[in-house]
A and B are shown apart, each in its own frame.
Chain A
């Protein structure tokens, strides 16, 4: 293509009112406001569309989500209320080359995290070699003594991982945190795509978007690959806490797509170190359990004795090797926010490779010198409690009030090991439609990315992942519980 033709094919830059954020990587536009190559079809279409068309697309999308029952439950106020996850019709595009690099980095990362979990509950080599401090592990709220000695087939502890990525000012993807317990959100990826292909089939086709449709069958394949040895036709089931869990829709969706039973704790019983489900024709053995409840609720004999969500004796059955539970018990040590600081070392230690994906620099506050420095400049850091997830308890230094900073200083001094600090990453931004009706406007909003990685006899990475967008102006908190929405993520062909 000649230079001139290239110029011709470049569409007019969009909605003329769009202003990228200063000092921020814009996912769609170069500094001179021309669209990035992979984003041209979007710029020519969605980003230059009339408010009427966007309103119509949004209304149709909302209707589809509501009718499909793609809702999440909000805890706290008015518990049990269903809401649709706010959805922006402008997709986030990732070009093929960027994705190839990410994919390799993600697979590498999850293989190392998995090896780490196996080592921690096995020989503990990494601790003996003092690559990771022993007391950090034993003191981790996610460490589970009960996991010692459980050896799942293929050594797979982390079957499903969700890795949260952010993109810094230069556009470099970095790992913000790992989710190695029961990461959720994948159903939104699949449903978002379903809605987008119905809303704008031509655009999806034109961009050459990579399909996400195989996720359920890839998950099922991964689960079957880790079934106890010698079982010719393993039975798998998905364990949910029930309809009032915030991710229930996803549990339903995945079990539906995989064609396996969706079970609750009281559907299950352990007899003779084996796991069974109660069917109308009696007990039927379960060989692989994809559980979507936390360790603490899994087995009242081992963890919280007041839990009605799990099944008594399952830990024993795991140890006897009659059932594989995915993810395994205690995988949370691998996504502990303090352990996070050591993840690059883990990759080098277990795989003998250099990490392909950098992480966001992470400071452990138990080190007195580090603590002193962080406390002094607290308004420049993001501080996270090591034991929480979902964005709860996070202090964003640059946006915190004087009072919040003072409270955090006290909390850190009182219990330094429970916090980590990271520099404030200026998250990348993406053109997003906000406002309603005639007040609709296209504005930059911060986004992150949660890709999903499956581990069975090999690693499988879902193309793209869940793009979460902070809908409030200036906000960098993308969690759905805190006013975040989502976008479809398009990995496009070259």
Chain B
């Protein structure tokens, strides 16, 4: 498997995962604001913090009003992380991968890209925010389904999964970090209905609300939310689950490449540190000793895994 191709697979997955998170975040935030009209003059500001884009947003927009933020996240071509930019980037990756991905996957992604070229505030409004994002979410799931059902399980698939899981881990850590930051300090809100709504929205952003209620019932408690999103082994969007999945792929790649280097020493996996972190901590301890620091560490470790992967397998110049 060519290094360049492995790069494209890794980034195609990251870009798609990023686009999907963006779509979910924007959608959930939009509906949250509809249900609980904000007192905050800039109700969209927290979302910009979650995605770490306050600065680049401020460079080109005067205020975080709804139209600006929706534009910025959905189809602003100058925002490299807008949903359309991510789809475009993933499609460019896929273009270089045409000879190894299924034609079904290419068709789905290319059609999504072609459709995204027509997006504007008018399309968002005419289809209705709900249908627009519901449809979009469905298309990401379709892409995930096609990927899972048509990609050959070779190292290429593993690079794809690593990209996806790395992005997912980072996204969930960032989501929790900022929400936690924004939600908890307001002492007067704790336990109020706004608070519950906010936490429910957070869970919904990670498609976790239903799973949470099934496991933990109706009451939303911070500790259990943290548990669910970071440490739960069975929930497919938790950091731990994502890392387990990532590790499986990393091990397979290490094995298949080691076969070509009979003498090479087995090296520790780049993900070991983060995996251990997630296994050995309980939500209570994590919160007790500083959730923010813990989440920052997760993000740093994700970056370290990306760097190690690049050095070992992806650098080709």
Contact = CB atoms under 8 A, between A and B. Distances in A.
B107 interface: yes
B34 interface: no
Contacts of B111: 67
A69 B95 contact: yes
A68 B103 contact: yes
A59 B257 CA distance: 47
Size band of the B side of the interface?
20 to 34
A279 to B, nearest CB: 5
Interface residues of A, number: 22
B114 A279 contact: no
A253 B257 CA distance: 28
**Majority-rule SS of B interface residues:** helix
B257 A68 contact: no
A372 interface: no
Contacts of A252: 95, 98-99
Interface stretch (A136-144, A263-271, A391-399, A449-457): A263-271
**Majority-rule SS of A interface residues:** mixed
B235 interface: no
A280 B254 CA distance: 10
B103 A279 contact: no
B248 to A, nearest CB: 17
A278 B98 contact: no
B155 interface: yes
Interface in A51-108: 66-69
Of A252, A253, A255, chain B has the most CB atoms within 10 Å of the CB of A252
Interface in A228-269: 243, 248, 252-253, 255-256, 261-264, 266-267
A277 interface: yes
A262 B1 CA distance: 11
A67 B4 contact: no
B1 A279 contact: yes
A67 B107 contact: yes
Contact of B259 (A66, A248, A281): A281
B3 interface: yes
A68 B95 CA distance: 11
Of B4, B111, B257, chain A has the most CB atoms within 10 Å of the CB of B4
Interface of A: 66-69, 243, 248, 252-253, 255-256, 261-264, 266-267, 277-282
Given A281-B256, A281-B259, 16 more contacts: A67-B107, A67-B111, A69-B106, A256-B99, A266-B4, A266-B316, A266-B317, A267-B4, A278-B2, A278-B316, A279-B2, A280-B155, A280-B257, A281-B1, A281-B260, A282-B261
10 contacts: A69-B110, A243-B95, A256-B99, A266-B316, A267-B4, A278-B2, A278-B4, A280-B6, A280-B159, A281-B1
